[in-house]
Structure 1
Amino acid sequence: MAAGAVVHTFTGSLADVDRGVYDELSLRVARHPSETDAYMLTRVLAYCLEHTDGIAFSEGLSSTDEPAIIVRDATGLLRAWVEIGAPDAERLHHGSKQAERTVVYTHRDPAKVLALWAGKRIHRAEYLALYSFDPGFIDAAVAVLERRNDITVSVTEGQLYLDLNGVTLSSAVHEHRVG
């Protein structure tokens, strides 16, 4: 953990009806001093939306050769490379060469993120997906964020329902294709 990192805990449950994934959550998330609350919360939501066996937060901002979230199978093979925010095209190119699946979750304007990648070389760009949330959703969730958080994440028919510290919010999970 980086010096000055603030640790947030998230305890609760995940019910992703769309994928048939149900689990109890107990996450300790270190927020690097240069990381915004919006970025960290997007990272937590991406973890929930990608939740599967072998998922883990990487070393984060202190590790430049790994994404924010990785998924490995039982043999250690990298299955998914999950980025947050607006990573550069070179990073996505590298990630999509390393893993079977590469995705990005953003708390930013998806049109601006896609514009950053336009015309750039990204390996298997046609398989890369960018996911975003309704405008204002992340900001509303950040407003109720605490160091210790009770969280319930439910997903059904592409709609994300988030109960964070007693406040219920919802957003569609928008998928944007790169290639």
Structure 2
Amino acid sequence: MASNATILKAVLHIADVDRQYYEDHVLTLARHPSETDERVMVRLLAFALHADGALSFGRGVAAEDEAALWKRDLTGRLEQWIEVGLPGERIIRQACRRAERVSVYAYGGRPADQWWKDQRAELERFDNLTVMNVPWTASRDLTQFVQRSMDLHCTIQEGQILIGDGAHALQLELVTWKERTTP
């Protein structure tokens, strides 16, 4: 964590009907000075979609050898590697070698579309990789929830995501660009 990182606290109440997962998580996020509100919220969204007691945040944008989020089993084996943004093929290749399952949550509108167009052929070969696109309007609208202390409710059902803070609510749906082909 950078010495001048901003610490964000979030209470995330998750009701994932699709996975039958209903838990509250008290999270601490270290926000690197170069990290945008959009990236912070996509990290939180990715956490909600994969929530598990063993899922944790990596050291952030400053640590290229670490995932934005990851999950290890009790032996230390890497089960899940989650990236947000537009990672390079080298990082994705490394993640696919190290983890059983890899997920990328791309966001940013046209730059994300161009990234997928450029990377698609290379990334199709990774059987353990899922690539999701967070539509630009959704990632932009998620930034309304960013505060140093957040209390968010997230409901996931049939691919629809509803996230809110008591005063505002946002419904969104991600676009699947590539589905993992291994179990």
TM-score (norm 2): 0.89
Cα distance change of structure 1 residues 79 and 124 upon mapping to structure 2, 3 Å threshold: farther
Matching residue of 2:104: 104
Cα distance change of structure 1 residues 101 and 12 upon mapping to structure 2, 3 Å threshold: closer
Matching residue of 2:94: 94
Q: In structure 2, how many angstroms separate the alpha carbons of the residues matched to 1:174 and 1:16?
A: 18
Aligned residues with identical type, % of pairs:
28
Cα distance change of structure 1 residues 68 and 13 upon mapping to structure 2, 3 Å threshold: same
Q: In structure 2, how many angstroms separate the alpha carbons of the residues matched to 1:74 and 1:82?
A: 18
User: What SS does structure 2 have at the residue aligned with 1:65?
Assistant: coil
TM-score (norm 1): 0.91
Matching residue of 2:20: 20
Matching residue of 1:146: 147
Gaps of at least 5 residues in structure 1 are: none
Report the Cα offset of residue 151 of structure 1: 0.2
Gaps of at least 5 residues in structure 2 are: none
User: What SS does structure 1 have at the residue aligned with 2:61?
Assistant: helix
The total of aligned residue pairs comes to: 178
Q: In structure 1, how many angstroms separate the alpha carbons of the residues matched to 2:167 and 2:38?
A: 19
Amino acid at match of 1:114: W
Report the Cα offset of residue 54 of structure 1: 1.5
Q: Does 2:116 align with 1:114?
A: yes
Amino acid at match of 2:141: A
Amino acid at match of 1:142: T
User: What SS does structure 2 have at the residue aligned with 1:53?
Assistant: coil
User: What SS does structure 1 have at the residue aligned with 2:103?
Assistant: strand
